[in-house]
Amino acid sequence: MKKSASAVWSGGLKEGKGTISTESGALQDNPYGFNTRFEDQPGTNPEELIGAAHAGCFTMAISGQLGKAGFTAERLQTRAVVTLDKDDGGFTITKVQLSLEARIPGIDDAQFQRIAADAKTGCPVSRLLNAEISLDARLLA
């Protein structure tokens, strides 16, 4: 399987503007730029998109792991916070904090935590990233 996305950029780093699109059309010419990445202006940025991809990938992975163990979630909600730090070599994504809230009938917390940890390490986006990935998984009653 291969999926694609594209970016177009015009201008210099700080004053330039760009757009990001996906093959599926889910994103179509979405604006991004220095101000959307570093100054909280409207638009997207690479770190936000990586967070969305990681949250989506992990949530699908845990759903699959739960199914293998005989459970079906009523609801899985994941948030991914991506940390971008600057060091001598430039900017680096150093951490992703995954936070999961789950409603899963019939599962105990110990089994849930094992399955969540396996999904975190097995998710293809987790395997791609060279960053510290942490997980706070909460089973809701």
Output the pLDDT for position 133.
94
Output the pLDDT for position 128.
93
Average pLDDT per block of 10 residues along the chain, 141 residues long: 94 94 94 90 91 97 97 98 92 95 97 97 94 93 84
Pick the CATH number of 46-139 from 3.30.300.20, 3.60.15.10, 3.40.50.2000, 3.10.450.40: 3.30.300.20
Bridge partners (DSSP) listed for residue 19? 8, 31
Taking alpha carbons only, the member of 128, 123, 141 closest to residue 55 is 123
Where do the structural domains in the chain lie, given as residue ranges?
5-38, 46-139
Output the pLDDT for position 113.
97
Output the pLDDT for position 42.
87
Output the pLDDT for position 43.
87
